[in-house]
Amino acid sequence: MSLKLDGKKLSLDIEEKLENYISINKLIAKRSPGLALIRIGEDPASGVYVKNKEKACSRVGIKSFIFHLEDTVSQKEVEKLIEKLNLDKNIDGMLLQLPIPKKLDEQSLISNINPEKDVDGLNEQNIGKLVKNEPAMRSCTPAGIVNLLRSHSIPIEGMKIVVIGRSLLVGKPLSLMLLNLNGTVTMTHSKTKNLNKLCREADILIAAAGKPNLIDSSFVKDGAVIIDVGIHRLKSSDKNKTRLCGDVLLEDVIPKVSAYTPVPGGVGPMTVTMLLVNTIFSWQKQFSLSSTLNDLLP
Ligand code: NAP
């Protein structure tokens, strides 16, 4: 019988800890942690993600500040807003909801975010510290995956881990985090030869290719752990309905693995929770608060 790594449940457990931590430490800090969410344009998925983040903030007691800019906004105007938020003493974390309109230079905007407030962990300074295995803001989806593995006592050290995908958002930082935790990591991508054979050697296989149902049971070793990062909305057989799926053909893979993440309810909820965690870490640092949440740091 394979174990379901329930990200929804873990995220609720962590949120409870975060809520307690904030209510106790607010007395010392004399204000709640603050998170600024910058959204540009009308991408509907971004609207849903920002709303979910806003709701998650209110569940634990983080004050959220939403800045919804029109897609006609200039690079300079967004830079100005980021600069203002960098200096704002009530803001501990800031994120730019991606994607943003193509005419804007995404990486340059992220570089402008104060690394101490870069709760998405995408600023060069934070990525550099990850490479050096020094403490810093870690990107949320990879950090959530590490917490999911740890909380189920799945060992990382010495394990053969194959990561499918090398994006700056998921594959690269995740591979580095697992390497820092002494996993033996192989990072793969669309040009990798013999992907199937490489995957079959993995004790832990992580699919972050963004391709629905790419991974079936032929990619998986008996007893492996499989983590599905992909999230896709597909039309279901009933034309008026849609359903979510990941990069893994779960019904085919589950009988073969020792543990797996469902989609939805696996990696996704952990991503939002780690955003809350990062915001609270920044707040904790600013007010030298107790570090009882440090075991959540990857
Ligand atoms: P991305 O930027 O499109 O990167 C995809 C990566 O997968 C690339 O490195 C690409 O290789 C590689 N790839 C694509 N097809 C492949 C194939 N057939 N075989 C091997 N490698 C392949 O996507 P991303 O931002 O990393 O996101 C990946 C998936 O995770 C998406 O479905 C996204 O929606 C999901 N996601 C979920 C969460 C969550 O919270 N659940 C968070 C972030 C992302 P090349 O580099 O060679 O092009």
Catalytic residue among 120, 203, 228, 247: 120
Task: Tell me what pLDDT residue 202 has.
Answer: 99
**Cβ atoms 147, 267 nearer than 8 A:** no
Give average pLDDT by consecutive 10-residue segment, the chain, 298 residues: 97 97 97 98 94 98 98 98 98 97 97 98 98 97 98 98 98 98 98 98 98 98 98 85 95 98 97 98 96 86
∠274-153-148 over CA atoms, to 5°? 25
Task: Tell me what pLDDT residue 197 has.
Answer: 98
CB of 196 within 6 A of ligand 1: the answer is no
Instruction: Output phi, psi for 235, to 5 deg.
Output: -70, 135
User: In this structure, which residue's CA is closest to atom 1 in ligand 1?
Assistant: 167
Task: Tell me what pLDDT residue 236 has.
Answer: 82
* pLDDT tens by residue, 101-146: 999 999 999 999 999 999 999 999 999 999 999 999 999 999 999 9
User: In this structure, which residue's CA is closest to atom 30 in ligand 1?
Assistant: 230
User: In this structure, which residue's CA is closest to atom 4 in ligand 1?
Assistant: 167
**Cβ atoms 247, 211 nearer than 8 A:** yes
Active site (annotated) includes residue 9? no
Active site (annotated) includes residue 13? no
Task: Tell me what pLDDT residue 204 has.
Answer: 99
Q: Which domains does the chain have, with CATH numbers?
A: 30-115 (3.40.50.10860), 140-268 (3.40.50.720)
Q: How close is the Cα of 80 to the center of ligand 1, in Å?
A: 31
